[in-house]
Amino acid sequence: MANGRRRRKLHLSKIYTFNCVKPSADEDDQSQIGGPGFSRVVFCNDPDSLEIHRYANNYVKTTKYTPATFIPKALFEQFRRVANFFFLLTGILAFTPLAPYSSTSAIVPLVFVIGVSMVKEGIEDWRRKQQDIEVNNRKVKVHRGNGVFEYMQWRHLRVGDVVKVEKDEFFPADIILLSSSYEDAICYVETMNLDGETNLKLKQALEATSSLSEDSNFADFKAIVRCEDPNANLYSFVGTMDIETQYPLSPQQLLLRDSKLRNTDYVYGVVVFTGHDTKVMQNSTDPPSKRSRIERKMDYIIYFMFGMLCLISFIGSIFFGIWTRDDLRNNAMTSWYLRPDDTTVYFNPKRAALAAFLHFLTALMLYSYFIPISLYVSIEIGKLLQTHFINNDIQMYHEESDKPAHARTSNLNEELGQVDTILSDKTGTLTCNSMEFVKCSIARTAYGRGITDVEMAMARRKGSPIADQHGEFNDSDDQTPPVKGFNFKDERITGGKWTYEPHSETIQKFLQLLAVCHTVIPEVDEETGNISYEAESPDEAAFVIAARELGFEFYKRTQTAVYLHELDPISGQKVDRSYKVLNVLEFNSTRKRMSVIVQTEEGKLLLLSKGADSVMFARLARDGADFEEETREHVNEYADAGLRTLLLAYRELHEEEYAEFNEKFSKARNSVSADRETLMDQVAEMVEKDLILLGATAVEDKLQSGVPECIDKLAQAGIKIWVLTGDKMETAINIGYACSLLRQGMKQIIISLETPEIKALEKSGDKDAIAKAHKESVIQQITVGKAQVTSTGGESEAYALIIDGKSLAYALEDDVKISFLALAVSCASVICCRSSPKQKALVTRLVKEGTKRTTLAIGDGANDVGMLQEADIGVGISGAEGMQAVMSSDIAIAQFRFLERLLLVHGHWCYRRISSMICYFFYKNITFGVTLFLYEVFTSFSAEPAYNDWFLSLYNVFFTSLPPIALGVLDQDVSARFCRKFPLLYQEGVQNVLFSWRRIFTWMFNGVYSGVIIFFFCAKALSLSAFNSAGKTVGSEIFGVIMYTGVVIVANCQMALFVQYFTLVQHIFIWGSIGIWFLFLVIYGSINPDLSTTAYEVFVEATGPAPRFWVVTLLVVVAALVPYFAYSAVQMRFFPMYHNMIQWIRLEGRSEDPEYADMVRQRSIRPTTVGFTARAAARKGRASRERQQNGR
């Protein structure tokens, strides 16, 4: 054999599922080859073919920019911000004589703001580039001719290349499987990065290519593949391969990029799709340019401010034009001191209209201070510092994996406080990708003393003594069991003690069934002798491990038999036993059960079956259901605890009965008709009856630590949670129970196309009729569901919507999706099963655009990338497998439970900080701008600035810039503990109460009021009297300094009144900004008057020594701030917002009073939502209604 290896002998198709050998594709599908959408032709092992050069190369790019597009695209990103575009226009006008200030002072701040933002964008995209380089430079063995394989970088692969992928390597492109290290040409594939599932998938090559087992076999290998064009469907593939004869290809031969080869030494394959043509890349979209809702709303505020700026400029220009025209009447100069008879075009009475227009342009530049140029750069700085705190939050650090939270972009911090709907993946996001055997029921006796995550959460909530029985709960880490997959604790049957139980014979049969009825493959470590198991599903592995730990060790499988080390109840010793496997009746979503027929060493024929209680109870024999009632009770208890349950039953077959069954089953199995599976199911029905019940198993799809508690808190915060998963419906429903998204008593609206009527129609083969019937069925089910929800008003009952992937495809069509969304948003929880990555992205888009609310998507695999990019916020779970989701996310966390702190604490804080920061920015700039405008009114709109040029330039840069940054980084209305204790506080962000138009206009009005008070108070207090002891009156330079001083102090003191959480930094920034103003006034006024102009010695010689200056400044500050102080005091006392109520609790020391705290918190606990708290509330409500009915 090649490279000295022997091929592994395991004829899987003879002992397992029949998926590997079923017909590859329908004839109708094959007839499409060569038509539209099916035009791809691949010449295998022919690198010189001209056809290859038409196809994409294998280089993959996930970056937003390229060196050529960075500058234009980044500039576009910056100048689509309205304020930046406006300041670009004013900067251009600053180079003309119209400008009231120098061009340098207009351009330099804009260049700085744009430059900082572009550098930040460039750094973030460079990190994505580094990830791309790492992936594209991976290596794989490629056939170079004459049977020689050499390593080549992924990016150089071409369509038609033959590659050799070895164990635990990722597939570099979409590949047609040719052969493997197994003689059956099968291989195991892990698709964790595609669909999130950790259980291995089986693939099998065509029999015609299975003999290509050595490198040398490919020296003369030639074939032509004709197949479908690149598309996003992960679960379908239609094609043919010509090797002398034409063979059909199906998904069973397709190995997808980013999936991994497992438990197979090597495979050979031919590349059919490369780079962005691969299915995983077809499911991804370009990295979007995301902007927060607050930032987009800020654009509208700037539109409004720009409109007001144009209005006041227009009004001023009209008055200016009238007064300019009146300066010269009949050659008589009314304002002789202005010499209107000898002036420039800007003040020419004879061309008053032109002078008015030019004044309008000058006024636009002068009043541009109404719009804060430093707003964006200050927000950028604030957000960067916010992300620093998020990244360094020790409570979001996962010690086990050594991974902290990582905000990969700072653009969306405030969006974290406005999330209305969370769309979550399941496997690897809610769960740990592991299954544990926890409990079982055998012969009416319940075994297993462990408690599940859901039970632990309920116990903690109620303060139940169960917590004391099982030790302290640990929120920070999972309690890892001694044996992976086995978390069973019960001294009655562990350690071989089951032999002393009253029903030991039933227990023995129960454990034998667990050890035999499966499709697991054992692998023995040659060095240690330890046995590990590879299973198609994690629960099967858990059953086999449980049987081993309880005395029935499965250790070997051949083509026709399984071998066990069994505990003999008589001798107490391990004995070797074998069971001949005659047939495997596989599990599917219709049958909901799996059976095997085996022959024991004594010659007995046994049917061993395990399946869902919904189908198994109906198949029990009358004399085989002695303890059916007790088992039902146990199954219901397990389901309520979030466990996945299966019933175990068996029957003994007679040889004649088996012979008849086997003949019919073989005939059905070998059928090549479209209804092959249906025929097999019908034959299986004949034998899967009259079963004898043994008991039930209960396994836990182990949730990540803290998931039920996190979901409960998020539900109390009013956040809706949807689960979008590629798993089967049964699996998704079970995990829904485990994490409290579903509960007993919650009405389920299930939309599925697995009905008998639809299946009967599908046999006809008329695709158009089938598609029409599918769509009509989905529309009817949606209509019925909406009527069901509407009939109760959604007030007293909670509904759950569960829909499968096939139905979802029709529900997302343009004429159906609005109805589907209406039904979905009226339900407490939504679970979409068997969803493709494209469907996940489309559902996310539907929710985002249909509800007009903020959506957050969270996932951990490459199959979640489209969803993460489509959502307003994409959160990637940095799990153990793959980093594709993290690379495409906006924020990365290590565990789902960290989402609670990320949203309820950091999200709320960031939303409040940014919204308050923006409101304050407009307040202080309106205050400043109003004084400029009123000064213009009293100077005949002459466009003469009230302040020195440097005063104008530095107002936003030095004297009022630092306090709002401190506000945006450090302010807290409520501590982190209270944010989590009172989750409904989060609704302030969802409802946008802190950045509503009412609140924005209130701050604007406050700014107008402050500006008016400052101007008129200064003007009236300083007019018609001497300013100092020398008898001097106030000139424009002194008046400007006094008024400017009032503006600076009022703006900073307003911040002091507004701050909720003072730190040393706030004190330094607020009072330091005022101090910097006075220090600047002294230093700037002492330099050469050619530079300081109107500010020369104005403080030292004029304002500083004058008592009136200090008195006027004090009175101006008090008069400007008293109304805001009074308004805040009245609101806090008589009309408190939710955060004010929590502040009162903290102030009065009643935070530990459970009754008072519950009274404040009760609005967030509703029986129609999800979570274990809502579950308890629903139970309490039902009990109350029952008592009322009994009382009647």
Point out the residues that are catalytic. 425
3-state secondary structure 940-967: CCCCCCCCCHHHHHHHHHHHCCHHHHHH
What gap in Å lies between CA 678 and CA 685, rounded to an integer? Answer: 11
Q: Please write down the long-range contacts of 1069-1078, taking CB distance under 8 Å and 24 or more positions apart.
A: 1069/962, 1069/963, 1069/965, 1069/966, 1070/963, 1070/966, 1072/962, 1073/958, 1073/959, 1073/960, 1073/961, 1073/962, 1073/963, 1073/1048, 1074/959, 1074/1048, 1074/1049, 1076/958, 1076/959, 1077/958, 1077/959, 1077/1045, 1077/1048
Number of C-beta neighbours around residue 431 at 10 A:
25
| Residue indicated by tokens 């479908």 | 228
Q: Using DSSP, state whether 232 is helix, strand or coil.
A: coil
Q: Which residues contact 887 (CB under 8 A, 6 or more apart)?
A: 62, 128, 131, 876
Q: Which helix (H) or strand (E) holds 439?
A: strand 431-442
Structure tokens at 628: 């059916």
Radius of gyration of the chain (CA): 37
Q: Using DSSP, state whether 866 is helix, strand or coil.
A: helix
From residue 94, give the alpha-carbon distance in Å to each of 106, 368, 489.
7, 12, 80
Structure tokens at 612: 């869902």
Q: Directed axis angle between helix 352-366 and helix 908-937, to 10°? A: 150
Structure tokens at 812: 């997302």
Structure tokens at 461: 């909530």
DSSP for residue 640: H
Note the Cα 369 to chain centre separation in Å.
39
Number of C-beta neighbours around residue 289 at 10 A:
12
Q: How many helices (H) and strands (E) does the chain have?
A: 40, 35
Is 530 buried (19+), middle (13-18) or exposed (0-12) by CB count in 10 A?
A: exposed
First to last CA, the chain: 84
Q: Which helix (H) or strand (E) holds 651?
A: strand 644-653
Number of C-beta neighbours around residue 49 at 10 A:
17
Q: Which helix (H) or strand (E) holds 521?
A: strand 521-524
Q: Please write down the long-range contacts of 760-768, taking CB distance under 8 Å and 24 or more positions apart.
A: 763/674, 763/675, 763/678, 765/28, 765/674, 767/28
Name the phi and psi angles at 721, rounded to 5. -125, 120
Q: Directed axis angle between helix 293-326 and helix 82-93, to 10°? A: 30
Calculated CA dihedral for residues 1032, 1035, 1041, 1043, nearest 10 degrees: 100
Q: What's at 698, amino acid-wise?
A: A
What sign for the dihedral angle of Cα 736, 737, 741, 744? positive
Q: What's at 1105, amino acid-wise?
A: P
Number of C-beta neighbours around residue 718 at 10 A:
18
